[in-house]
C-alpha cells in the first residue's frame, strides 16, 4: 500500500480533532475509522497495552462530554445510543494507537493525523499572535477616541453658521411697535 492509495483529505482529519478538557483530541470512533478497524478492535488493543497509554495519551469522556460531542458533531450521532463512553486520544495517543494496531494503513494514517495536529497547532499559534497584536493596537487607540470626538465637535462648531448678534434697529421706533 503506497501513500497514494490513501485518499484521506486533510480537512476530514482536521474536522475530527476536537477540543475537550483544553486538549486537542480525536475520538476512538473517528480514529478507528481512519485506521480501517472497528472501534471495538481499537479499544481492545488499547486495553491490552494499557501501559503504553497513560492518562495524558487517552482518557474516557464523561457522560456530559459525550452528550455535548454528540449534540455538536453530526458525524458522531451514532454514539448517542451507545452504552459505552468513547475514549479521547491526544496527538501522542493517536500515534501510540497506530503502533499497537501494527498495520500498514495505521502507520501511514498516523502520519496524516500528526500533520493535522501540527497544522492546528500552527493555526492556533497564528491566532494568538494576531490576538496579541490586536490587543496592543486597542491599547494604543484607547485614548484616541476622546481626541477624535473632540476634533469632530470642533469641526462641527467651525462648520456651523455663526449666529448674528442682535442689533438695535436703525432709525426711529414708533410706540406702536
Q: What is the per-residue pLDDT across 27-37, written as a single tens digit (0 to 9) for each?
A: 998 898 888 89
Q: What value does the mean pLDDT of the chain take?
A: 80
Structure confidence by residue, pLDDT tens digits, 34-64: 888 998 999 999 999 999 999 999 999 999 9
pLDDT of residue 88: 93
**65 three-class SS:** helix
Predicted pLDDT of residue 3: 46
Note the pLDDT of residue 2: 46
pLDDT of residue 1: 43
The tens digit of pLDDT for each residue in 117-165 reads 778 777 777 777 777 777 777 777 666 667 777 878 887 787 777 777 7
Catalogue all structural domains in the chain, each as residue range(s) with its CATH number: 3-123 (3.10.260)
- Per-residue HEC secondary structure of the chain comes to CCHHHCCCCHHHHHHHEEEECCEEEEEHHHHHHHHCCCHHHHHHHHHHCHHHCCCCCEEECCHHHHHHHHHHCHHHHHHCCCCCCCEEECHHHHHHHHHHHCCHHHHHHHHHHHHHHHHHHHHHHHHHHHHHHHHHHHHHHCCHHHHHHHHHHHHHHHHCCCCCCCCCCCCCCCCCC
Q: Say whether pTM exceeds 0.75.
A: no
Given a cut of 50, whether residue 7 has pLDDT beyond it is yes
Amino acid at each position: 500500500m503506497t501513500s497514494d492509495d490513501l485518499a484521506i483529505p486533510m480537512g476530514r482529519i482536521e474536522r475530527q480533532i476536537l477540543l475537550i478538557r483544553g486538549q486537542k483530541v480525536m475520538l476512538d470512533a473517528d480514529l478507528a475509522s481512519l485506521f480501517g478497524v472497528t472501534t471495538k478492535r481499537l479499544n481492545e488493543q488499547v486495553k491490552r497495552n494499557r501501559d503504553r497509554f497513560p492518562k495524558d495519551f487517552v482518557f474516557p469522556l464523561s457522560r456530559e462530554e459525550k452528550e455535548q460531542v454528540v449534540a455538536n458533531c453530526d458525524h458522531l450521532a451514532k454514539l448517542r445510543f451507545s452504552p459505552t463512553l468513547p475514549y479521547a486520544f491526544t496527538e501522542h495517543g493517536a500515534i501510540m494507537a497506530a503502533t499497537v494496531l501494527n498495520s500498514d494503513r495505521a502507520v501511514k494514517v498516523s502520519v496524516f493525523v500528526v500533520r493535522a495536529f501540527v497544522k492546528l497547532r500552527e493555526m492556533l499559534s497564528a491566532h494568538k499572535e494576531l490576538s496579541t497584536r490586536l490587543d496592543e493596537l486597542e491599547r494604543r487607540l484607547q485614548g484616541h477616541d476622546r481626541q477624535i470626538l473632540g476634533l469632530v465637535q470642533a469641526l462641527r462648531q467651525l462648520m456651523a453658521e455663526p449666529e448674528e448678534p442682535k442689533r438695535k434697529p436703525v432709525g426711529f421706533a414708533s410706540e406702536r411697535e
